A = this chain, B = another copy of it.
C-alpha cells in the first residue's frame, strides 16, 4: 500500500467516530465508490477514560493511544487523526512519535474560527478539555476569546455528554439546553462543539444554522478532504 490512506484513532465514543466518517463521505466529491477516501479506522472504545485520568488520576490513556498509532502506521496509514477532542491533550507527544502526518482537530477548529473572522466563541466540551485549556490556548493564538460556561453549566454539559454515551440522546439534549441558552445570551459569534459527542447531541441546531456552530467532527472531516485532494 503506497497510496494515501487515512488512519483514524476512534471509538471514543464509537458513535462519534461514525459521525466523523459520515461527514468525510458526505464532503468528498465522489461519483462512484472508487473516488472515496480510503480509511483504516481503529474504533477501540476500551481506551481508559480521558477525563477521569486528567482530572482524578487512574490509568493513563497515552500508552493505548501510542499503540493504536503504531498499529495504524504498520497497517499502511499515511495520515492519522484522533476522533476525540480530550485525547488531543496527548497530540503533541503522539505527533512526535509518529512517522507519518497527523491532522489536529483542535488546530483545524482554531483555523476555521480564524478564517471566519470570529472574535468571541463559546465552548461545549468535557471538563478535561476545558481544564487543560486545549481550545482556550489554540483560540488565544488566533486572538479569539474562548470561554466555557460557568461551573454549574459546565457540570450540565459534562452530564449531557456522559448521558449521550450512555445511550440516552433525548435526555442528553435536554441537559445541554441551559449551557446552549447561556451562550445565546452571551452573544457569542459561534459555539465550539468541542467534544465529538456534542455534534450528535446538537445535530438539529447545527444542521439549521451551520455557521453558528464550530463542529469539531465536520471541521476535521473538511481538513481530511483537503489533505486527500
Contact A36 B21 (CB under 8 A): no
Check A43 for interface membership: any CB of B closer than 8 A. Answer: yes
Give the CA-CA distance A76 to B37 in the complex, in Å: 23
Complex copy number for this chain: 2
Contact A38 B46 (CB under 8 A): yes
Nearest CB in chain B: distance from A52 CB, A = 11
Contact B167 A30 (CB under 8 A): yes
Nearest CB in chain B: distance from A208 CB, A = 20
Give the CA-CA distance A36 to B13 in the complex, in Å: 8
Check A209 for interface membership: any CB of B closer than 8 A. Answer: no
Give the CA-CA distance A12 to B25 in the complex, in Å: 12
Check A229 for interface membership: any CB of B closer than 8 A. Answer: no
> Size range of the interface on A?
35 or more
| Binary flags per residue of A33-51, CB closer than 8 Å to B gives 1, else 0 | 1111111111111110100
Residues of B within 8 A of A32 (CB): 162, 165-166
Query: With A13-B36, A36-B11 known to touch, is A167 a contact of B41 (CB < 8 Å)?
Result: no
Nearest CB in chain B: distance from A12 CB, A = 6
Nearest CB in chain B: distance from A20 CB, A = 10
Query: With A18-B18, A21-B14 known to touch, is A38 a contact of B34 (CB < 8 Å)?
Result: no
Query: With A38-B46, A40-B42, A71-B76 known to touch, is A25 a contact of B14 (CB < 8 Å)?
Result: yes
Q: Across the interface, name the chain B residue whose C-beta is closest to A67.
A: B1
Question: Interface centre among A22, A33, A36, A44, by most B CB within 10 Å?
Answer: A33
Give the CA-CA distance A42 to B32 in the complex, in Å: 18
Choice from B11, B13, B33, B75 contacting A38 with Cβ under 8 Å: B11
Check A96 for interface membership: any CB of B closer than 8 A. Answer: no
Residues of B within 8 A of A40 (CB): 40-43, 71
Q: Across the interface, name the chain B residue whose C-beta is closest to A71.
A: B75
Q: Across the interface, name the chain B residue whose C-beta is closest to A44.
A: B38
A-B contact pairs, 15 of them (CB 8 A): A11-B39, A14-B21, A15-B22, A18-B25, A21-B21, A33-B45, A33-B49, A35-B45, A38-B45, A38-B46, A39-B42, A39-B43, A40-B42, A41-B42, A75-B75
